[in-house]
A and B are shown apart, each in its own frame.
Chain A
Amino acid sequence: MNQQKVYLSDELREYLVKLPDIDIDQLVDVWSQPLPESFRVNTLKLPEKHILERLRNKNIRFKKIPWTRYGYILEENYEIGVSLEHMLGLIYIQGPVSMAPVEVLDPKPGEIVLDMCAAPGSKSTQIAQLMEGRGVLVANDPSIERCKALSSNLQKFGVLNVVVTTLDGRAFPKMVGEFFDKVLVDAPCSSLGIISKDWSVGKNWTLKHAKRLSRLQNQLLKAAFDVLKPGGVLVYSTCTLTVEENEMVVNNLIESREDAVVEKIYLDGLRYREGIIDYDGLKMREEIKNTVRIYPYHNNAEGFYIAKIVKKV
């Protein structure tokens, strides 16, 4: 039986072929399949080995995701979303590559951390876990509707040291100045990296929409950098593949902020390519190569873009 393939609009196809080193056939193949099911164990509630033991006792088979602490991929179908472990907040269902940005941010106990676009809370709960209940997490999302899911997930995960705010991310600098040790901007984007979850994205994508999002992403990233303490770390991530929403946004930041440095990213076992610096006649700074572009076929999972930026002391 022929497997049904995802449909891409002509505009999207034309856009993708312009990207260097991309294999469109492989991309379509991976987009046409469901993403692997993966989860993170919640060490805020129980030790990791206790939770894994519970799952093994139910004959659930899984393997460790190498690039993230506490992340596992299911090796066979299991309705983990309705399991007791999920409802009790012992595990959190999250895509394997979606766990990478917080690993790059590497929040530590005692730090003050901002998750600027936090809903529905996958990355906020991951940040909270690595903070081990010490320090403060500010989980922000401008949409009160989306904050309902964020609040539920933080509750289920057992996070005490959190403030949930509904601000426009761009309002933070005026309000607090250079205040945070670490900031994550997992920006709203055109979502090309997760077409497997929603095929309509491939059909409805337009460059105009991506460029509109890019304006917001530029503003959010600058605001995030401005609330960072000197020496602080900022991670910018999206689940899309366009240069306008990724490298160009980071390049704009380092062009406008002299104290911004793009650092190299190290993630064990994760396949990716370096950030694009030469695109459509535009030459970007060499250090943009330090950012990572993860295509869905690299790891048979979601596509992502991640940049790590440090504010010079």
Chain B
Amino acid sequence: MEIMSDSERKFFENILREQHGVEKAFREYILIKTGEDRIRATTHETIEVAMKLRKILQIGLYIAKFRKSRNEVFLTIEGSQLLNDQITKNVVDLDEESALRWMKGAPIQLPRNYLSLYIVGRLNGLYLGSARISRDGKAYPQISTWRRIPEGE
């Protein structure tokens, strides 16, 4: 666990600006790098309390996967919900049925072409995290396995 440096943060913010038009990404929070390119967000006060504790397993909320070498950021469901309407680019509005497919991790046929490789899903104003757009024009939601609605439901 390591607090993100200013330069890394700037890089991360730039990608989010480019991908989703976010101007002030998570500015009020401290961002922490953990294993497997995961980024967590928390408050200043939480970090102050954590400094007094031992055997810390984790701090704050997992908000994104940040692959610096590939210039890509995948927002988690909660990361995208935290940014909410700051996300202005590359958003697809889903109906209930597509949202269910999205939460199963199943590919979604997009209604139009997007220039980006990344898209965020939204159901009635509620954000559902990132998907990668494939050459076949489908969005592949990046939902963690534990979070998926089981097939057949």
Give the interface of A toward B (CB within 8 A). 45-46, 54, 79, 82, 84, 87-90, 112, 133, 135-136, 138, 144, 147, 151-152, 154-156, 158-167, 171, 175-176, 179
Contacts and interface: CB of A to CB of B under 8 A. Distances in A.
B7 to A, nearest CB: 24
Given A112-B49, A135-B45, A156 B147 contact: yes
A84 B57 contact: no
B103 A151 contact: no
B55 A159 contact: no
B34 to A, nearest CB: 12
Contacts of B2: none
B49 A160 contact: no
Contacts of B52: 175-176, 179
Most buried by B among A90, A165, A176: A165
A167 B78 contact: no
Interface in B123-153: 124, 126, 128, 146-150, 153
B68 to A, nearest CB: 23
B103 A164 contact: no
Contacts of B78: 89, 155-156, 158
Given A88-B77, A152-B146, A156-B147, A165 B49 contact: no
B14 interface: no
A136 B45 contact: yes
Contacts of B55: 165-167
B106 interface: no
Contacts, number: 98
Interface residues on B, range: 35 or more
B114 interface: no
Find the residue from A112, A138, A160 having the highest chain B CB count within 10 A. Answer: A160
B147 A165 contact: no
Given A155-B62, A165-B53, A167-B55, A45 B100 contact: no
24 contacts: A54-B124, A79-B153, A82-B150, A84-B96, A89-B77, A135-B45, A136-B45, A136-B46, A136-B48, A136-B49, A138-B49, A147-B57, A154-B61, A155-B76, A156-B147, A158-B78, A158-B82, A159-B61, A160-B41, A160-B60, A163-B53, A165-B55, A175-B54, A179-B52
Contact of B56 (A46, A88, A161, A165): A165
Nearest to A154: B61
Given A82-B149, A88-B126, A175-B54, A163 B77 contact: no
Interface in B24-63: 29, 41-43, 45-46, 48-50, 52-62
The 4 closest A-B pairs by CB, nearest first: A82-B153, A136-B49, A164-B57, A163-B50
Contacts of A45: 81, 126
A163 B148 CA distance: 25
Nearest to B61: A160
B99 interface: yes
Interface string B91-125: 00000100110010000000000000000000010
Contact of A163 (B56, B99, B103, B128): B56
Contacts of A175: 52-54
Given A46-B126, A163-B56, A84 B49 contact: no
Nearest to B42: A160
Nearest to B153: A82
Given A163-B49, A165-B53, 12 more contacts: A46-B126, A84-B100, A88-B126, A135-B45, A136-B49, A147-B57, A152-B147, A155-B76, A158-B78, A160-B60, A161-B43, A162-B61
Given A160-B41, A163-B59, A165-B56, A87 B46 contact: no
Contacts of B103: 84, 87-88
Contacts of A54: 124
Nearest to B128: A88
A85 B76 CA distance: 16
A180 to B, nearest CB: 10
Contacts of B149: 82, 84, 87
